[in-house]
Each structure stands twice: as C-alpha cells, then as structure tokens.
Amino acid sequence: MPARQRNPRGEGTRLRDELLAGAQRILERTGNEDDVTLRAVAREVGVSAPSIYAHFADGRAMVDALVDRTFAELSTLLKAARDGAEPGERLFAICKAYIDFGVEQPERYLTLFERRRTLERSELPADGNRAFLYANGAESFAILAAAISEATDITSGSAEEDAALLWAGLHGYTSLRSSMPRFPWFADEERVCRLLVDRATLAARTRAQKGV
C-alpha cells in the first residue's frame, strides 16, 4: 500500500478516524479482534506503527474505541427514532431502528456482537455496571428498557428483564438475516418487528398481572 500523506498539524482527529476505519475494515474481513494490531492497522492505513501510539496504546484500545463509537452511533439512531415517534409507537420505532441498523449495515453490526474475542475478554465477569463493557452499549440498552417500561407501565427492574428478552429476539432475527439470507422469513422487517414488540409487551403485562 502506498505511504499515506502526513496530516497537517492539528489534524490528529483525522488520523484517529482513519485508524478506526482501518480497524473496522480488518474486523470486517476477519471477524477476529486479535487481528487488529498496531502493525496491521498501520499497514491498512499506510502509516508507521509508532505514529499510532499518540492515539492508541495497542490493538485492544483501538477495538474498544471502535466498538464504543459504533454503540454511540446506534444510540443516536435509537434516540432519533424514539423522539420522532408518537408515544404509543416509541418502542416499535426503537426496535425497528435497531433492526434496520443491523440489516442495512451488517458489517457494523458484526463489529458490535459477532466478532471473535480473546478468552480473557470472554470471561470478564458481568457484575454491577460491568454488565456492559462499553458505556454506550449500556446506553443503547437503557433506551430500550425505558421504552418498554413506558409501553407497559412496568417497574424498572422488571422492565430491564423484559427488555433483555426483547433484545434477544431483535438480535437473533438481525443476526440470522445476515447469516442466512436465503431463509424465507415470511415477512418484512416491519412486520417481524411488530410481532416481536407485541409479543414482548403482552408477555410483560401478563407476567405483571400474575405477580411473577
């Protein structure tokens, strides 16, 4: 790859963005975050490896920054969908925006959930606020939990459980759409989303009535 032209002084942010874009391309090709190393990204972008140290200590730091930024973009999309919908349609709008993100940008979705991780990362304990490795990932989930709480009038603790189950359905459908494109899904994204939301809210209200 030809050497990349040096950015003018004051354009460090541009280099950082280019490094993250390079890390994204590597993840899309391999699906393995261990392949995102300083040397690999330097080759991808066309810079010297030492020039990366001003922005990232190692490949893991680049992956963390990339994933957190992608979650931030997802949260922005979910909030925009929520704010643009009528009160009774907010949960559906959020879920539809989630599915659209994953279906229309499968490589970006891969970055969030489908990449292979080191054993050390896979075994990190999910305790307290560490249930999410990335703050923006926690925000995305909180948006969904708040919406299902509003839609069902259920307390926050139960709403989080219901949101987790709904998220599992959204993630399963979104992932399978990418990995099994020839499977006959019998409906478009809007109808699938509506069914998932209706079933999730019905189940949540039924459980609440039974005191479960």
What sections of the chain are H helices per DSSP? 12-30, 38-45, 59-83, 90-104, 106-109, 119-122, 135-152, 156-179, 189-210
Of the candidates 131, 141, 144, the one whose C-alpha atom is nearest the C-alpha of residue 201 is 144
d(CA 27, CA 65): 13
Same domain as 109, residue 139: yes
Give residues with Cβ within 8 angstroms of 168, minimum separation 6: none
Retrieve residue 114's tokens.
Answer: 């489908």
Residue 155, pLDDT score: 67
Q: Tell me the residue range of the domain where 24 lies.
A: 1-57
CA distances in angstroms from 103 to 115, 141, 173, listed in the order given = 16, 18, 9
d(CA 160, CA 180): 29
d(CA 20, CA 5): 17
CATH number of the domain residue 189 falls in: 1.10.357.10
Same domain as 90, residue 48: no
Same domain as 1, residue 105: no
d(CA 193, CA 206): 20
Same domain as 202, residue 98: yes
Q: Which of 10, 34, 57 is the last residue of a domain?
A: 57
Same domain as 124, residue 168: yes
Say which residue the tokens 């009160």 belong to. Answer: 87
Same domain as 116, residue 79: yes
Residue 77, pLDDT score: 97
Same domain as 157, residue 128: yes
Same domain as 43, residue 98: no
Residue 135, pLDDT score: 84
CATH number of the domain residue 47 falls in: 1.10.10
Residue 11, pLDDT score: 59
Are the CB atoms for 134 and 78 separated by under 8 Å? no
Retrieve residue 29's tokens.
Answer: 């090709």
| Number of folded domains that form the chain | 2
Torsions phi, psi of 134, nearest 5? -120, 130
Q: Which of 57, 75, 96 is the last residue of a domain?
A: 57
d(CA 111, CA 127): 23
Residue 4, pLDDT score: 45
Same domain as 187, residue 157: yes
Retrieve residue 41's tokens.
Answer: 């990204």
Q: Which of 57, 73, 91 is the last residue of a domain?
A: 57
Same domain as 105, residue 158: yes
Same domain as 117, residue 25: no
Which DSSP state fits 22?
A: H
Residue 143, pLDDT score: 96
End-to-end CA distance of the chain: 60
Of the candidates 49, 40, 183, 24, the one whose C-alpha atom is nearest the C-alpha of residue 106 is 24
Tens of pLDDT, residue by residue, the chain (212 residues): 444 455 555 456 889 999 999 999 998 888 888 899 999 999 999 998 888 988 999 988 999 899 999 999 999 999 999 999 999 999 999 999 999 999 999 888 988 887 766 655 555 555 544 567 788 889 999 999 999 999 988 765 688 889 999 999 999 999 998 888 888 888 889 999 999 999 999 888 887 777 65
Same domain as 44, residue 83: no
